[in-house]
Amino acid sequence: MSKPKVAFYWCASCGGCEEAILDLNEGILDVVAAVDIVFWPVAIDTKYADIEAMPDGSIDVCFINGAIRMDDQEHAVKLLRRKSKAVIAFGSCAHLGGIPGLSNLTDRVATLSRAYLEVPSLDNPNGVVPQKVTEVDGGELTLPGFWNRVLRLDEVIAVDYYLPGCPPQPDTISAAVQAILTGDLPPAGTVLSPGRNMCHECSRQASKPEKLKIAEIKRIHQVLVDPDECFLAKGVVCLGLATRSGCGEKCMSANMPCRGCYGPTDGIVDQGAAFLSAFAALLGPGDRPDLGEVVASFDDIAGTVYRFSLPASLAHRGNLMKNKGEPTP
Ligand code: SF4
Ligand code: SF4
């Protein structure tokens, strides 16, 4: 029997998801022995033309990481969708928009301006900003169009399964690969990690407070937190309240709070709203006289509670951000 054909592709992301595959360590040898990798631009020399020449549906599983913001990304994922029986959104950016999705707090022009004209470390004396078409001696140079908004993968193509995480942890990947190889897969649309929230698997859970008596919200560098102490007890925001488990409490074991990369639990659409709702309940009754000061001490609320999921938020889904411009070039 021939081996399953597998492809990997990379859109708007940092490259960490590609590294995560290598983090399987020697386990990657089992993967390579069990599947036929037909496309993986970061690791093997295959071309788009090779994929275009394949019959539709001839790739068994395609893992795509990264959000979608450019014309070439849209073209590649639509091609891979056509050629693949199953597509897996691999990692936070493909799943929920991820860190690149925070750019949806602003628009395309402001994003390019910040990156090419304002960042203090820039060396761009002529103020060059990338354009889709540039006239040069002898012709035109073109770049892929840069969209006004960052989209989740499933806003552009149909997605069969989601592997959460920034990046997905080796156990999450191994379990998914095993399920694919054996055909023991849950219904389409499933996120391949447990559906309960992080607090259920956190070794600090015993010290999680019923009510928060904090006077202000602190950042992790401002306090000392004991290795078995819930971060919330010290007033440090921990997204574990509203984050899917399955990473093996990766951050807490390094004495850092959960920042939410595994996304919302089953049945929750808006991870940031779910966190704020649970956090407000812990803060106590609205008549607490100092509540305004506590809330005012919460720096960068959107960047904290939607760090990985802004393009999946209700504000994005409801197009409330459209006043920042059109969603495509
Ligand atoms: S809030 Fe964070 S530290 Fe506290 S129990 Fe939940 S995951 Fe653990
Ligand atoms: S603890 Fe939270 S932020 Fe850290 S890897 Fe796990 S899900 Fe991601």
Q: What is the largest CA-CA distance in the chain?
A: 71
Q: Which one of 163, 243, 265, 305 would you pick to mutate in the ligand 2 pocket, going by the greatest count of ligand atoms within 8 A of its CB?
A: 243
Reported as a single tens digit per residue, the pLDDT across 38-85 is 999 988 899 889 999 999 999 999 999 999 999 999 999 999 999 999
Q: Are residues 74 and 155 in the same domain?
A: yes
| Pair 39, 158 in one domain | yes
With tokens 């033309």, the residue in question is 49
What are 235-269's pLDDT values in tens digits?
Answer: 999 999 999 999 999 999 999 999 999 999 999 99
Q: What percent of the chain has pLDDT over 90?
A: 72
What is d(CA 96, CA 284) in angstroms, rounded to the nearest whole number? 30
- Which amino acids bring their CB within 6 angstroms of ligand 1? 198-199, 202, 204-205, 208, 230-232, 238, 240-241, 252, 257-258
pLDDT of residue 329: 45
Both 244 and 269 in one domain: the answer is yes
Output the pLDDT for position 320.
Answer: 59
- For 159-195, how does the pLDDT look when each residue is reduced to its tens digit (9 = 90+)? 999 999 999 998 888 888 888 878 888 899 999 998 8
Look at the chain and report how many structural domains it folds into. Answer: 3
Q: From the CA of 138, how far away is ligand 1's center (Å)?
A: 61
Q: Judge if 13 and 45 occupy the same domain.
A: yes
pLDDT value at 276 more than 90: yes
Judgement on whether residues 130 and 211 belong to the same structural domain of the protein: no
Domain boundary among 87, 122, 147: 147
Whether residue 328 has pLDDT greater than 90? no
> What average pLDDT score do residues 264-291 get?
89
Does residue 321 contact residue 312 with C-beta atoms inside 8 Å? no
34 is a domain residue: yes
Range of the domain at 47: 5-99+151-182
What pLDDT is recorded for position 319?
A: 66
Q: How far is the CA of 50 from the centre of ligand 2 (A)?
A: 37
Confidence bin at 204 (pLDDT 50/70/90): very high
Encode 264-297: b = buried (16+ Cβ within 10 Å), e = exposed: bbeebebbbbbbbebbeeebeeeeeeeeeebeee
User: Does a structural domain hold residue 113?
Assistant: yes
Confidence of residue 324 (pLDDT cuts 50, 70, 90): very low
The verdict on 57 and 169 lying in the same domain is: yes
